[in-house]
């Protein structure tokens, strides 16, 4: 089947595009490029291009509530094949400003859920 178009960006709404792009650059690599105060692009090495756009009156999702600003999307990051590697990544994302949302049952699920500084959920995943 022929494609219609190639994916260009995953765009993330937020109150401060440069700050959130810097957070994700620290997590997944790349260098944020601010095109203006309202739009920043992050080219993740060997990954997707992420766009961050300023939204006035931004309200973050409330994970896992589906009745108020559902999660909308989330990003998954491979954090290593051992729980020691995931634990090290856990400490680093907390130091960058993430906050834990769900750290339960990680052995059963192989992932842990966090909120980025703007409130979007993302996961640190163990590679089985």
Helix (H, G, I), strand (E, B) or coil at 75: strand
Ranking 1-5, 9-13, 97-101 by mean pLDDT, the lowest is 1-5
What CATH number belongs to 1-54?
A: 3.30.720.120
List alpha helices for 3-102, DSSP H. Answer: 17-28, 83-96
Helix (H, G, I), strand (E, B) or coil at 81: coil
Fold annotation for 66-128? 2,3-Dihydroxybiphenyl 1,2-Dioxygenase; domain 1 (3.10.180)
Parse the chain into domains and list their residue ranges: 1-54, 66-128
Helix (H) or strand (E) holding 10, with range, is strand 10-14
Instruction: Give percent of the chain with pLDDT exceeding 70.
Output: 93
Q: Are strands 121-125 and 75-78 parallel, antiparallel or unpaired?
A: parallel
Quote the pTM value.
0.83
Q: pLDDT tens digit string along 46-94?
A: 888 999 999 999 988 887 776 766 656 788 899 999 999 999 999 999 9
């Amino acid at each position: 089947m022929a494609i219609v178009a190639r994916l260009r960006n995953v765009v993330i709404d937020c109150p401060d595009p440069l700050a959130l792009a810097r957070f994700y650059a620290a997590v997944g690599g790349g260098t944020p490029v601010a095109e203006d105060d309202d739009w920043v692009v992050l080219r993740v090495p060997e990954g997707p291009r992420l766009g961050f756009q300023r939204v006035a009156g931004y309200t973050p999702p409330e994970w896992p509530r589906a009745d108020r600003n559902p999660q909308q999307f989330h990003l998954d990051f491979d954090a290593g094949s051992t729980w020691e590697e995931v634990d090290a990544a856990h400490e680093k994302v907390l130091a960058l400003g993430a906050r834990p949302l769900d750290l339960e049952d990680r052995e059963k699920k192989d992932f842990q859920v966090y909120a980025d500084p703007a409130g979007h959920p993302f996961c640190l995943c163990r590679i089985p």
